[in-house]
Structure 1
């Protein structure tokens, strides 16, 4: 037999052996993964024998593919088998551990109870202290240190004294200014509301009939003044000092309340939201032909209220 025929026979034998091993790894997968089986090790030894006998290691492309598939199967099986191994052979048993502690400390069993000597826990603490990282407790130096007032109590006393000083000192300058500004604003609002009420009473007595709401609050010279007038009138409605209603033409009219009606109105307060925009303001001036304001224009006053106020 010539050399070429010999090589062909060896190649066919190598392929047949490789296919057999590959088929075995795929068919007997569970046996390979069994921890008690040596199937994985024997297959590795067989593949090594193929190399040693010269049946593998050639340059044939088909053989390389078969070799790679066999090694891939063996690697996957080896990984899965390693994952199934249990490394926690020693399991912590709390009951067994407690029994060992009792035995070590020399506990006496009296029926169902276990008793220890008075200093046994100190002994246990000294034995296990090296296992824990903790700062040592503070102790008097040679016993000459006189223990003073507890730190926590001293801190509480200092905070208490600081709070008392704060109360005695009273509000700060910023708080005083804020309170003064709020008080001044309230006084200005109250003064303007009273002034508008007096104007409404005077105009009502002169005409002896309810006044057109828009003619009363609209200031043709200033949109902001109109908003302020609506704002101040809302307080009069809220307090039951004036009444805003609709006339026969479904237009709002305003009139002061009588003494008895005012008290009743306070018990039955009814408010609604009224808003006016700049174009609506101009339309009111043109429609009602308002040339002057019943409420005099204020030269200076409080900050401008919002354009929507309750009535």
Structure 2
């Protein structure tokens, strides 16, 4: 029990010394920051002596508190120091330079001003030569290049007169004619498109006559469950029907597109009463698969065209 009580007394005394040290540093803050004394260093040395007896957490916490305080003061004190201790003094440099050039002030006489002393002749005549020889060591210059046959003077190049070329405009008779083979291919492609549009219009009118009261779904009409490419071709050809006023696309109660044919008389009336509108529709491969699965399309409404026999 006596040993335990003695240990507690030592720890209590150690904590008291730490608190007195921290209070002393806080009260003498301005003195600690002064660069003219080593008060902060003395406090750190005293803390090092106290730290030898630290063995428990309470004393260690007080030591850490003092260390934080001393570090803050040390940072502020270091910021007050001048990092550039060497300052260039022009007057001292001039004195050293004159001494190197051989200046002797004892032989200057009794002149009052420096200009009169320099004029009296106590600066040697070879002073500037001596300075130049010394400075030449620190300047590396390439030797001067001399031409063997004199200087070479290059004459500027003669500018040639610029000739502006006039572009000849091609007349209507001189235009490039399209090759006949391309013209035939274009005409055959156009005829094939017109025939395919007429064939699809026939399918649309046929389905509409069978049951005029049931709307025809646009997606079911153009979708081919066996070919994504033919589905896109059907949408392309149906767009000509809409453009020429032979068919119309509307939205049903479920906001899904439906298509109906327009006959010549109805088409003319529709053009007179309502402005025709067109839109570009796109369909990805994933959307085509989703449409086939959602609408359960097993057979195409537009049968593929049979290739013409040669």
Shorter-normalised TM-score: what interval? 0.3 to 0.5
> Which structure has more RCO (C-alpha within 8 Å, separation ≥ 6)?
1
TM normalised by structure 1 equals 0.45
The structure carrying a bigger helix percent of its residues is 1
Q: Whose radius of gyration is greater, 1 or 2?
A: 2
